[in-house]
Amino acid sequence: MVARVLKQLAAPPDAVEKGGDEILRVFVVDGGLSVSLQRAFDQASTWGVLLVDLARHAARIYARETDLTEQAALDEIRRLFDAEWSRPTDLGSTHSLN
């Protein structure tokens, strides 16, 4: 059997320098998402801001690494976000709560 390697990102430079709390980790495992998170904010609505910020970061990466523009990538992300919101393909599961 081939050994699987866990590939992890480094912490952002400002977090290394100033410290901070990691609130979200997401891995792709066997084609699906494995998520670990903690509440982190007083208001649930703050997660909306975080999700939009993540979408914008992802769109910038696609614009930098593919032939998509940032706006085209963001439009694709939004289209699938809306579709998934309306008709979830996976409701996820809670293996353990911290």
Asked whether residue 26 is domain-assigned, the answer is no
Asked whether residue 30 is domain-assigned, the answer is no
The range of the structural domain enclosing residue 70 comes to: 45-88
CATH number reported for the structural domain that contains residue 83 in this entry: 3.30.2370.10
Q: What are the tens digits of pLDDT across the range 63-93?
A: 999 999 999 999 999 999 999 999 998 776 6
Q: Give the pLDDT score at 93.
A: 65
The total domain count for the chain is 1
3-state secondary structure the chain: CCCCCCCCCCCCHHHHHHCCCCCEEEEEECCEEEEEECCCCCCCCHHHHHHHHHHHHHHHHHHHHCCCCHHHHHHHHHHHHHHHHHCCCCCCCCCCCC
Q: What are the tens digits of pLDDT across the range 29-66?
A: 998 889 999 999 999 999 999 999 999 999 999 999 99
Asked whether residue 70 is domain-assigned, the answer is yes
Asked whether residue 9 is domain-assigned, the answer is no
Asked whether residue 59 is domain-assigned, the answer is yes
- pTM comes to 0.81
Asked whether residue 83 is domain-assigned, the answer is yes
pLDDT confidence bin for 97, thresholds 50/70/90: very low
